[in-house]
Structure 1
């Protein structure tokens, strides 16, 4: 009987500790939300997960604070044949923050974070370590960012880190 009581007490302590950890992460992350560990790709290192789901910059890049790698011939052709619409031309012409589709370089660095293109229709994403579930990749210039990096994962409730425009 003492064993059962001790086991129940220990289980209650562990459950309470887990709930406190989740509550603490929710308070720390705020509007970024807590990383959804139910939607992680296979093979991720569980000890290297980030706490917060969303990206600190949301899904907005300030084009005035962005550096790019040199364009490849394929990227130049894609950019020249892109059909600009209101979502893409206004931010480009005004120079203000843009989350519109991107038809330029395949990767870059904005406000200290790496991003890459990830689709054929101008989609882009912030990149993260650990298969997209780790810390957001940081940079000082575009040459520290690559198009082979993983798009951010675990934030399916928002477009803040996934492949989208």
Structure 2
């Protein structure tokens, strides 16, 4: 009987600790949400000890073009940008200086407000980049030359859609 009581007390203590950790993460992350990753199905090379706590990106899905530096354009990127079908979503924000959340047809990567991003699709999609296969800390920068198009898109942010490859 005493042994069963001890096991139940230990189990309650462990469960309480886990509940406190989860509620602490929820409080810290707020609207960014807590990163939910199945630790049993991590891709090769992902360090479970280097996962970020919050799912969404601190800047959400916005990039202020006035606060952005870009990597140099390749010949292919220049041709793609020149041939891209421009519409109000992709031109007006640039001309007006507003925040641009639309598809991107320029440089393959850049730095906005201290965070790296990259182009990741054929139709102007882009994503914020993160370490540890996309599940670690958001990659930070002072200029575009610290960001690369080979970095991983942020993972685990499907609910908030604030990262990952889309526009």
Q: Which category describes the TM-score, using the shorter chain as reference length?
A: over 0.9
Secondary structure at the aligned position of 1:56 is classed as coil
Which residue of structure 1 lines up, in the alignment, with residue 33 of structure 2?
33
Q: Indicate whether 1:93 and 2:95 are aligned.
A: yes
Which residue of structure 2 lines up, in the alignment, with residue 151 of structure 1?
153
CA contact (8 A) 1:41 1:131 kept: no
Answer with 89-98 or 16-25: which moved more.
89-98
Change (3 A) 1:41 1:71: farther
Q: Offset of 1:93 from its aligned partner?
A: 1.2
For residue 110 of structure 1, the aligned residue among 104, 109, 112 is 112
Aligned length: 165
Secondary structure at the aligned position of 2:85 is classed as coil
Matches within 5 A, 1:1-165: 1-38=1-38, 41-43=42-44, 44-165=46-167
Answer with 154-163 or 35-44: which moved more.
35-44
Q: Offset of 1:27 from its aligned partner?
A: 0.6
> What stretches of structure 1 of length at least 5 have no aligned partner?
none
Secondary structure at the aligned position of 1:108 is classed as strand
Answer with 69-78 or 30-39: which moved more.
30-39
Q: Distance in 2 between matches of 1:122 and 1:38?
A: 30
Q: Distance in 2 between matches of 1:95 and 1:45?
A: 40
Q: Distance in 1 between matches of 2:28 and 2:149?
A: 30
CA contact (8 A) 2:33 2:160 kept: no
TM-score, normalised to structure 2, is 0.95
CA contact (8 A) 1:32 1:52 kept: yes
Displaced runs of 4 or more, over 3 A = 38-41
Q: Deviations over 1:87-113 (max 9, x none)?
A: 111111112111100000000000000
Q: Offset of 1:4 from its aligned partner?
A: 2.0
Q: Offset of 1:41 from its aligned partner?
A: 4.6
After superposition, the CA RMSD in angstroms is 1.2
